[in-house]
Chain A
Amino acid sequence: MITVPYLLSIITFLPLVGAVLVVLVPGDAVKKWLAFLFSLATFAISLLLWTGWQNGAPGMQFVETAPWFPQIGVYYTLGVDGISLFLVLLTTLLMPIAVYFSMLYVKKSIGAYMALMLALETAMLGVFLSLDLVLFFVFFEASLIPMYFLIGEWGGQNRIYAAVKFFVYTFAGSALMVVAILLVYFSTGTFNIVELQFAQIAPAVQMWGFIAFALAFAIKTPLFPFHTWLPDAHVQAPTAGSIILAGVLLKMGTYGYLRLARPIFPQAAVQMGPIVATLAVIGIIYGALVAVKQQDIKSLVAYSSVAHLGYVMLGLVAFNMIGISGSVLQMVNHGLSTGALFLMVGLLYERRHTRMLDDFGGLWKSVPLFCGLFLVVALSSAGLPGLNGFVGEFAIMQGAFIYAPIFAVVAAFGVILAAWYLLTAFRKMSQGEITNEENARGQLKDLRLSEVLMVLPLVVLFFVIGIFPNLLFDKINPSVEAYMAQQSVRIEQGAPMTGLSLQLPDGLALSNE
């Protein structure tokens, strides 16, 4: 087995190195291939995490640490455990696919585009690998800048509005998180995310801190009613941007809840749990109902994301073994399925320059290969047994049922609705007669080999995860078990939370004087 020193740093910053090189080298073709090469190399190196994984070990692996700003306790600390491992792999897998798609179809200033994509990859990987609150926040916020430019420069008609809304909405959402991070530091004396799980925090600080963290992550996820930026951003973003936005960026919200909001403020999280769960369930039903009415396929997929991430949130709040493991898996599944959906929509859009369902019909007759793949992807997203989506959703439902049956019962309707809107979309696109000349055979080209190869890895993974979910669960579960045990201890030992205690203690002086 190969052991590479500084493996996590290499994985995190390799794309950034690529971004700088892409800007420097001349020639569009060179820039494209260099970007693709770097994203592919990052993926290849990230596989070392899988091969070098210590099975059954619950804690952080491949940990690296170096003083960054030791005077105030800020360290550059990276680490990965069963919870973050697959999010990292998801990011490194989706990126070459998104970059490859852009190579084929993005024409406008390709160098800047690729550099932004790679810079974005570094920010996202940093979020999943950081074990220091400040470092986490820096990556979390830094991801806004490249995405903002990707939407604003390469997006659709209404791109400027969408880009500014995306930036300001999420920036404002995390503003209060800065104050909460500082509150946490001055009550515990550490920014280390692992140590913070063991710290005792006063009830009032927990409550305020939880509210601030949860708000930031609720906007990022996005949870109903904080979701309004998402459809705008998705519809306007270029295809690769949508793949990354839905596939990875949204998970930063649920991952943040799982990694920070919940374990740092466990008692407050328990107390606020029903509220979050209710919002999650409303999101599931609302997102699905709105998706049913959408004409624009991208908009449909965007709203389906609101619904799907509602499930993830529900599983996290349920806070039992099966619920959390299911949520972790479902984050990966949603990344794969929705990433693939946006990819398929993008491939269609590049051919027809429309995404309206009414413009299509009977595509099965003209582009069977596309339709076949689209059907598999849609079924995966709808949660058909045997495919990946089913495993995650089923586990989440079980978890939610144990938490409070009512949530599971209501959320189950969301599954039915998901099948409805996805299959309706498929029917309108593919079945029936060809109503529009431009969709006719010969007019519309079916997928090329390179395009099939782009989608294929995702489709293979649908089946692999659907049939052998334990490949993932084996690595997720030990970490989740330890995670849960630790929080139960803290809830038992912690000062009792009586009602909503919001009165902060005066002056949180550190004891280092």
Chain B
Amino acid sequence: MNNAALNLDVNALLPELSMVVAAVVVMFLDVFNRGGRSVTRPVLPWVALLGVLAAAGASVWLLGQPVSTFQDMAIADLFAEGIDLVILVATGLSILLSVKYIPTVNPQTGEIYALLLLVASAMMVMGSAIDLIVVFLALETFSLGLYILSGVNRGNALSSEAAMKYFLLGAFASGFFVYGAALIYGATGATQFSQIGMQVMSGQADLNLLYPGIALLLVGFGFKVSLVPFHMWTPDVYQGAPTTITAFMSVATKAAAFAAFYRIFLVALPAQQPVWGWALAILAVLTMTLGNLAALRQTSLKRLLAYSSIAHAGYILIGLTTGTPAGADAALFYLLTYAFMNIGAFGIVTLLEQPGQMDVDISAVRGLGKRRPLLAFTFSVFLFSLAGVPPLAGFFAKFFIFGAAVQGGWSWLAAIGMLNSAIGAYYYLRIVVDMYFAEPTEETAIASKRSYAAAFGLAIAVVFTIGLGIFPNLWTALLEGGLNQIAMR
């Protein structure tokens, strides 16, 4: 068989394939654990991590040589590799945090790591998909995996509720997405992004089908990245899911869904930018504002971080609203810094959680600065970065997003975004206040779990949260110039 004619360049899928291979190996090794004796279980996270590292290596190797594969249904360009790296960072950090944590939730760790790797690989496919069908396949694959992962704590009612809620609403949202995809296919007769784009440009598309199609796609994506008003599930699921899974979800799902979001809007529907630009702008304002206002009132750390992640989805959406390569560039940088700081923050929560509990009350951090100074310092770095205070990475992430907005003529949106980040500063600071300026109480978490793997993961997250703030160009140097590619295709 001639691979060139069928355009089956397997190299382009090397990152995804290494993840799948690692998942299979993990599952295979897990077989030797029957009978309650954990022979290979301790090595499973490290095998999974090896897969992540291999995938990261493949992604870096693919940088700068865009290859399309499977008859132009997927592509390995710089944008895809950038998204891959974000997802891999999220996966790697979550695995490190899980080493000690996941066994307390569910002893069947093999399945969890295998699922995590498969979910991540589907998310990576989402970043390379340039066809509506592939997007849908990837979307469903990772969603199904996530429904299971959020319910792995089977003995816990909250966790089961979270999984059920996520599943029902997620299935509904997938329905919206498929419906939208079908309408767009009806309007243009194509599922491949650039073909849709050409049809629309040439004026042959049926606009009566196209616009409802765009709207339905927007609803489907809005659910996945939790935009207001499609965010209702987020706090419950984030609270109920095991915390390391929540950490992974909060970043990787956003990266994958935003990636597909960007490609569809920039490649397939650039001509409609004036229409969807405004729709997205309104969604961004709602999402940032409601997310931040709701976060002000939370007493649970996980729910607070859930609402904060809704607000951050709003900031990232601003980058897409502009419809420019600069916006995509900024969003990619935002997602990367967000991976380090947000998973870092959730990582602290995993360490503070008491056995058997799925959540941490905000009062549990009181006086943490005196009990566990290093932990409190680490948490503060993440929180200040999430608030966008220089010289941490979160500041430059916002700076680039709002820069793209101003450049694209959306200054008012940037202004609303900055005012929102000032609201955000208040609730992030509230945690810092409790950690440092309050005396320890009996409720102060003793931080029962001490895990070298988690400490290592947090150390990486801190180094990058500070490092990307002082040298933000390290990342862009890696992807320099490549982000213009997606708009051209």
Contacts and interface: CB of A to CB of B under 8 A. Distances in A.
Contact of A142 (B389, B402, B414, B433): B389
Given A71-B473, A168-B422, A183 B391 contact: no
A72 B473 CA distance: 10
Interface string A163-192: 110011001100110110011011000000
Interface in A491-513: 504, 506-510
A176 to B, nearest CB: 6
Contacts of A71: 473, 476, 480
A179 B411 contact: yes
Contact of A185 (B395, B403, B433, B473): B403
Interface in A308-334: none
Contacts of A510: 407
A221 to B, nearest CB: 19
Interface in B429-481: 429-430, 433, 436-437, 472-473, 476, 480
A409 interface: no
Given A186-B407, A508-B406, A153 B389 contact: no
A139 B390 CA distance: 8
B409 A506 contact: yes
A85 interface: no
Nearest to B469: A138
A145 interface: yes
B389 A179 contact: no
A160 interface: yes
A160 B437 contact: yes
A152 B437 contact: yes
B271 interface: no
A184 to B, nearest CB: 10
Given A152-B433, A164-B433, A176 B415 contact: yes
B336 to A, nearest CB: 15
B389 A144 contact: yes
A175 B421 contact: yes
A183 B476 CA distance: 22
Contacts of A208: 411
A152 B436 contact: yes
B409 A507 contact: yes
Interface in A136-154: 137-139, 141-142, 144-145, 148-149, 152-153
Nearest to A171: B425
A141 B406 contact: no
A175 B437 CA distance: 26
A142 B391 contact: yes
Contacts of B168: none
B384 interface: yes
A138 B473 contact: no
Q: What is the interface of chain B mostly: helix, strand, loop, or mixed? A: helix
B433 A160 contact: yes
Is the interface on chain A under 10, 10 to 19, 20 to 34, or 35 or more residues?
Answer: 35 or more
Given A142-B389, A179-B402, A168 B411 contact: no
Contacts of A159: 437
B469 to A, nearest CB: 9
B367 to A, nearest CB: 12
Contacts, number: 97
A68 interface: yes
Given A137-B390, A141-B389, A168 B429 contact: yes
Contacts of B476: 69, 71
Nearest to B438: A160
Nearest to A506: B409
A329 to B, nearest CB: 31
Contacts of A509: 407
A134 B402 CA distance: 13
Contact of B422 (A72, A149, A160, A171): A171
Contacts of B67: none
Contacts of A134: 399
A70 interface: yes
A145 B422 contact: no
B426 interface: yes
Interface in A86-106: none
A70 B473 contact: yes
A179 B406 contact: yes
A186 B326 CA distance: 13
Interface string B77-93: 00000000000000000
B391 A138 contact: yes
Contact of A163 (B407, B409, B437): B437
A508 B391 contact: no
Interface in A219-263: none
B408 interface: yes
Contacts of A506: 409
A183 B406 CA distance: 6
A68 B409 contact: no
Interface string A424-468: 000000000000000000000000000000000000000000000
Contacts of B402: 178-179, 182
Contacts of A168: 422, 425-426, 429
B215 interface: no
B407 A176 contact: no
Interface in A173-219: 175-176, 178-179, 182-183, 185-186, 208
10 nearest CB pairs, A to B: A172-B422, A507-B409, A175-B418, A138-B390, A182-B406, A175-B422, A179-B414, A152-B437, A69-B473, A141-B390
Given A176-B418, A182-B399, A183-B411, 13 more contacts: A71-B473, A139-B390, A152-B433, A160-B437, A164-B433, A171-B422, A172-B422, A179-B414, A183-B406, A186-B407, A504-B409, A504-B411, A508-B409
6 contacts: A71-B480, A175-B418, A176-B418, A179-B415, A186-B403, A507-B409
Interface of A: 68-72, 134, 137-139, 141-142, 144-145, 148-149, 152-153, 159-160, 163-164, 167-168, 171-172, 175-176, 178-179, 182-183, 185-186, 208, 504, 506-510
Interface of B: 384, 387, 389-391, 395, 398-400, 402-403, 406-409, 411, 414-415, 418-419, 421-422, 425-426, 429-430, 433, 436-437, 472-473, 476, 480
